[in-house]
């Protein structure tokens, strides 16, 4: 199979390139040369900017084009139009943030999509990200029809994750001591290991399968407690968790998801983010590894490549200890 990746050096694209090469496929990376120039010496590399510089791709043809780097409909539309007659399949990596309503569990692929108040908006912010991704989805489906594959992942985790959202928890437990853990221990959590996602994407390319899929996992219901137990097991043995209520944390001004990653209070407008319907992707072959493997590998990667760097999200240990002291001082004995 001949695979063109628009990017291919950062996170999802990087893992897809590695997976495709491991299967003996011919991989072409089209990117600006700002990252990963030493990666994948056996791959063909074409330097250029997809925003206005697609002519650098010349007249090549590919069995599949993978687009993990499109955020603006105008740019995705240009790529889809330029490549639609030169590929058998165009794969766009979208997001479950493309849905208009994530307040309820069970969101499936036919749910309503987010929209932008102004279709000319191109600045990617927390407020515009979902609408931009939804518009890109629609572009790919319009330009490619059944030769378009739109994948909407949830939280993607694993080595080379640039966000640290999942990595925060294994790293925090590895540092030991008492760990503040938010909310209901039985609340479901969803995430997909980037290596499982990449393996499935390459398989879908091999099969030439189009359509829309929510790429979430694990396929068996997983709770926040199970994730925390895996982090404790992989981390320091002299650590323990203290479960603290949603109400207390919100009273203290702690921000869900950013201050404490993966935390979504039960009454959040995004509480369905961790309970999206992934049955279509699971039926199409998406398989997920054990939580313990994702936790351990994220921790090992961080130790090997990030050293003593601070985490990019999460509260400081000093703030954490302040909150735990306040929690105890308030005689809050209702640990969850």
Question: Is 163 a member of any domain?
Answer: no
Question: What percent of the chain has a predicted confidence (pLDDT) above 90?
Answer: 90
Instruction: Give the residue-averaged pLDDT of 293-297.
Output: 97
What pLDDT shows up at residue 331?
56
Query: In this model, does residue 80 exceed pLDDT 90?
Result: yes
Query: In this model, does residue 333 exceed pLDDT 50?
Result: no
Question: What percent of the chain has a predicted confidence (pLDDT) above 70?
Answer: 98
H/E segment holding residue 301: helix 291-305
* CATH number of the CATH domain containing 234: 3.90.25.10
What pLDDT shows up at residue 335?
44
CB 149 within 8 A of CB 89: yes
Q: Does residue 147 share a domain with residue 44? A: yes
Question: Is 70 a member of any domain?
Answer: yes
Distance in angstroms (rounded) separating the CA atoms of residues 270 and 267: 8
Q: Which has more confidence, 330 or 234?
A: 234
Query: In this model, does residue 13 exceed pLDDT 60?
Result: yes
Question: Is 196 a member of any domain?
Answer: no
* CA–CA distances in Å: residue 152 to residues 36, 136, 137, 213: 25, 12, 9, 6
Q: Does residue 244 share a domain with residue 143? A: no
Query: In this model, does residue 336 exceed pLDDT 70?
Result: no
Place of tokens 């990019």: 312
Q: Does residue 79 share a domain with residue 227? A: no
Number of domains the chain is built from: 2
For 219-260, what is each residue's pLDDT tens digit? 888 999 999 999 999 987 788 999 999 999 999 999 999 999
Tokens of 323: 């909150």
* CATH number of the CATH domain containing 111: 3.40.50.720
For 299-316, what is each residue's pLDDT tens digit? 999 999 997 789 999 999
Question: Is 335 a member of any domain?
Answer: no
Q: Does residue 134 share a domain with residue 237? A: no
For 141-199, what is each residue's pLDDT tens digit? 999 999 999 999 999 999 999 999 999 999 999 999 999 999 999 999 999 999 999 99
Question: Is 213 a member of any domain?
Answer: no
What pLDDT shows up at residue 23?
98
Query: In this model, does residue 334 exceed pLDDT 50?
Result: no
What pLDDT shows up at residue 220?
87
Q: Which has more confidence, 332 or 77?
A: 77
What pLDDT shows up at residue 65?
98
Cis status of the peptide bond prior to 292, with omega within 30 of 0: no
Question: Is 197 a member of any domain?
Answer: no
- Domain range for 308 is 168-189+220-271+290-329
């Amino acid at each position: 199979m001949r695979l063109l990746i628009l990017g291919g050096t950062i996170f999802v694209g990087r893992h897809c390139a590695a997976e495709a090469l491991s299967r003996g496929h011919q991989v072409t990376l089209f990117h600006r040369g700002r990252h990963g120039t030493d990666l994948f010496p056996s791959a063909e590399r074409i330097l250029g900017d997809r925003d206005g510089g697609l002519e650098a791709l010349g007249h090549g043809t590919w069995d599949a084009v993978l687009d993990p780097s499109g955020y603006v409909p105008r740019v995705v539309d240009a790529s889809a139009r330029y490549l639609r007659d030169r590929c058998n399949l165009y794969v766009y990596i979208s997001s479950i943030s493309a849905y208009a309503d994530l307040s309820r569990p069970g969101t499936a692929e036919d749910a309503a999509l987010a929209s932008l108040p102004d279709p000319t908006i191109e600045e990617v912010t927390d407020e515009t990200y979902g609408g931009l991704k939804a518009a890109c989805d629609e572009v790919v489906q319009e330009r490619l029809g059944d030769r378009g594959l739109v994948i909407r992942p949830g939280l993607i985790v694993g080595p080379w994750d640039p966000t640290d959202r999942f990595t925060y928890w294994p790293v925090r437990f590895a540092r030991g001591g008492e760990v503040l853990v938010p909310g209901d221990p039985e609340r479901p959590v969803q995430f997909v290991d980037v290596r499982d996602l990449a393996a499935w994407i390459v398989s879908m390319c091999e099969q030439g399968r189009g359509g829309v899929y929510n790429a979430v996992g694990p396929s068996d219901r997983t709770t926040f407690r199970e994730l925390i137990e895996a982090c404790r097991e992989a981390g320091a043995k002299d650590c323990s968790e203290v479960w603290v209520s949603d109400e207390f944390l919100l009273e203290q001004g702690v921000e869900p998801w950013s201050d404490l990653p993966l935390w979504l209070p039960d009454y959040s407008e995004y509480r369905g983010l961790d309970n999206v319907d992934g049955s279509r992707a699971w039926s199409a072959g998406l398989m997920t590894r054990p939580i313990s493997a994702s936790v351990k590998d994220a921790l090992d990667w961080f130790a090997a490549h990030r050293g003593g760097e601070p985490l990019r999200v999460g509260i400081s240990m000093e703030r954490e200890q302040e909150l735990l002291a306040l929690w105890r001082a308030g005689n809050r004995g209702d640990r969850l």
